Amino acid sequence: MRITITGVFVDDQEAALAFYTDVLGFQVKHNVPVGEHAWITVVSPSAPDGPELLLEPVGHPAVKPYRDALVEDGIPLAQFGVDNVEAEFERLTARGVTFTQPPTEYEDHMIAVFDDTCGNLIMIQSDSVADE
């Protein structure tokens, strides 16, 4: 078994696509219209055949209370790997991204948490502090 697709709920798929590609730097893998929404996945340019992230429209009434409770406590819904957390923090802050948690050492690696502007908090982490 492999992890091929995982997803995050997004308030607005168009805005999410723009943020996940233009700001974060992922690339579109699939963008298939399905009714009033679309089936959109993005991948990392460094792993175009790797795991896909599905940008799933918010529709179910349980999604809002679920996400609100997580965001209130600062809990990220997804985690992405980066080479250097500090450098990403600087790059994304310059692009206007808000961090709820600045780069913090956690055991043997660095973590930071930002708001994806689509209703979720996302954690970035490096493999080890030594990589920074």
Instruction: Give the C-alpha separation, 98 to 68, whole Å.
Output: 17
Given the rule CB under 8 A, which of 9-17, 39-47, 87-95, 107-115 is the region that contacts another protein? 107-115
Closer CB to another protein, residue 67 or residue 88?
Answer: 67
Q: Is 77 in the site for another protein (CB under 8 A)?
A: no
We find the least distance from the C-beta atom of residue 36 to another protein, in angstroms, to be: 26
Residue 6: CB atoms within 10 Å: 12
User: Kind and range of the H or E element at 90?
Assistant: helix 85-94
CB nearer to another protein: give 54 or 75. Answer: 75
Rounded to whole angstroms, what are the CA distances from 83 to 41, 89, 131?
Answer: 22, 12, 7
The answer to the question of residue 65 lying near another protein (CB under 8 A) is no
Residue 123 CB, nearest approach to another protein (Å): 9
What is the smallest separation between the CB atom of 17 and another protein, expressed in angstroms?
21
In the chain, what is the straight-line distance between the N-terminal and C-terminal CA atoms, in Å?
Answer: 32
State the residue for tokens 């995982």: 6
Please identify, using beta-carbon distances, which residue of 68 and 131 lies nearer to another protein. 68
Total residues at the site for another protein (CB under 8 A)?
A: 18
Residue 92 as a binder of another protein (CB under 8 A): the answer is no
Query: Residue 82 is encoded by which pair of tokens?
Result: 């980066």
Give the residue among 39, 30, 33, 45 at the shortest CA–CA distance from 10: 39
**Contacts to another protein by CB under 8 A:** 68, 71-76, 98, 100-101, 104-107, 111, 113, 115, 121
